[in-house]
Amino acid sequence: MGYETVAGVKAKHYTFDEKALGWGGISKAKGDVWVAPEGYALKEVVEAYGKDVFWEKGEGTLKWIWEVLDLNKPFTIEVPKECAQALPEDIPILADASEMVTSEGMIIYKSATPFKEAVKFYKEKMPANGWSPSSGSVEMENMAMLNFSKGDRTASVSISPEGEGVTVMITMGK
């Protein structure tokens, strides 16, 4: 389609249809993409129609637009309030937690904290937050599974070494 300037970069403009997407269930699509000379996409506009796509049943139209606004400038990504998952206030998390994934009843993260220190942290902090140690806990050289209860709730903290630090997986239930 020629060249256009996007985010201050002269970009090659391409168009495509449903054949380029390769998504099952899409019966019709049209789209545009602008690509920088170095090969990375700067902007994309897509409208697709289909049936039973993206794990959903029924027919519908999907529309999206994304665009690079400030190339090579620092930025901050803020999670919208409606997307943030609140962590339970009584479940301690190591201060340097990274790569955290949360879902209903589960928290997984990595930490640079050494294995023995991480185990000690949970053995001290869980009771300090009202949790009682419960049966089934296991501690070995390369793995710890610490079980706790609080009222009708349970928490299992699995800690395993990874590199110089650890991976922590906390599963909670009733």
Give tens-digit pLDDT for 162-171. Answer: 989 999 999 9
Q: How far apart are CA 171 and CA 2, in angstroms?
A: 53
**Backbone torsions φ then ψ of 90, nearest 5 degrees:** -95, 10
Q: Is residue 89 part of a domain?
A: no
The radius of gyration computed from the CA coordinates of the chain, to the nearest angstrom, equals 24
In CATH, what number is assigned to the domain containing residue 149? 3.30.530.20
Q: Is residue 84 part of a domain?
A: no
Closest CA to 2 of 10, 12, 130: 12
Q: Is residue 85 part of a domain?
A: no
Q: Is residue 141 part of a domain?
A: yes
What's the pLDDT score for residue 91?
A: 96
- Domain that includes residue 120, residue range: 98-173
Q: Is residue 74 part of a domain?
A: no
Give tens-digit pLDDT for 32-64. Answer: 999 999 999 999 999 988 876 655 677 888 888
**DSSP, residue by residue, 34-77:** EE-TTS-EEEEEEEEEEES-TT--SEEEEEEEEE--STT-----
Q: Is residue 72 part of a domain?
A: no
Q: Is residue 40 part of a domain?
A: yes
Mean pLDDT of the chain: 89
Number of structural domains the chain divides into: 2
What's the pLDDT score for residue 13?
A: 97
Give tens-digit pLDDT for 77-117. Answer: 777 776 666 788 999 999 999 999 888 889 999 999 999 99
Q: Is residue 79 part of a domain?
A: no
